[in-house]
Amino acid sequence: MRTITIPVSASLVDDKYVASLLALAPLEQVEVSGSAPPTLAKAGNTSLRATSINRELAANLGFESLVSVEINASTQYLLLDVITQNPPVPGKPGSIIQSETYGAGFRVCVKVWNLDGKSTLSVAGVSAECTVKAARSSYELVFLGIDLGELEPVVPFIGAAIGTFDAAAVERLGTLISAADEIITSPTSTIRPVLLSVDVDPNDLRLPHARSFSTSYALQSIWDKKRTLDEAIRNIPSVRVNGGSIREDLVRGVYQSILGNVPATTQPSGDQRTIAMKTLFWAE
């Protein structure tokens, strides 16, 4: 069986449903196993993995302010996962999630535009283009499973994590990785692992399924009604619909999974309405 790894936000709806997957399957099929490890694995060092992602996924992972302004059509996004992770645990039976990976660390999302067509979207490629050529960039940090008290030793490096992702930024990033690694792997660390990614069978993402009233209502509001989240919440029927009720928290979860972490007054774009329509009817 071929699976794909999807980076997800650590946020869970009702403490059990993966918010990033709410629009991809019925509610009961995006529930976590409940087998999150209580402590972080100490073996091994913090690793860095770079992945090209789209604007919607960047917003979904907590970089909403970075993606709020699209500079031009050449804008691209590079996600850097700097994490220590535990061995994967099996997903819940009946879920589309084959396995869940937990850990701690931080993510860096780099937004770059005017990149030379011959350059690769990588840490080295972006930093070189932004240092000596015409490429432009900005970046943000999101910490995973690390609270403010534990971050105190790396505050100076976090404060410098703004501006262009050039050679100087890469040097600061290397220092931050070393400092964060010491915090994460310290024998006295009390860091609790959070959900980082899930592995799913891509075929499961196209299966027709019966949706909950809340999910169907949210998708219909995005696709057909062109409603903002605020409008969708205001228009939730006050009576039960066909024997079921619509839950505000689940509506919010679906909006977040498609629109990302944007203001509740944001109107769905044409592309987002298309995603909602295909998800609702599974029209390919």
Specify the amino acid at residue 243: G
Predicted local confidence at residue 282, as pLDDT: 44
* Residue 243 vs residues 61, 157, 208: alpha-carbon distances, Å: 35, 54, 22
pLDDT higher than threshold 60 for residue 283: no
* 137-196: pLDDT as tens digits: 888 888 888 776 666 656 655 655 557 888 888 888 887 888 777 777 777 777 888 999
Kindly report the average pLDDT of the chain as a whole number: 78
Q: State whether residue 83 is helix, strand or coil.
A: strand
* 42-78: pLDDT as tens digits: 655 577 888 888 777 787 787 877 877 766 777 888 8
Predicted local confidence at residue 13, as pLDDT: 76
The pTM for the full model equals 0.65
Predicted local confidence at residue 89, as pLDDT: 94
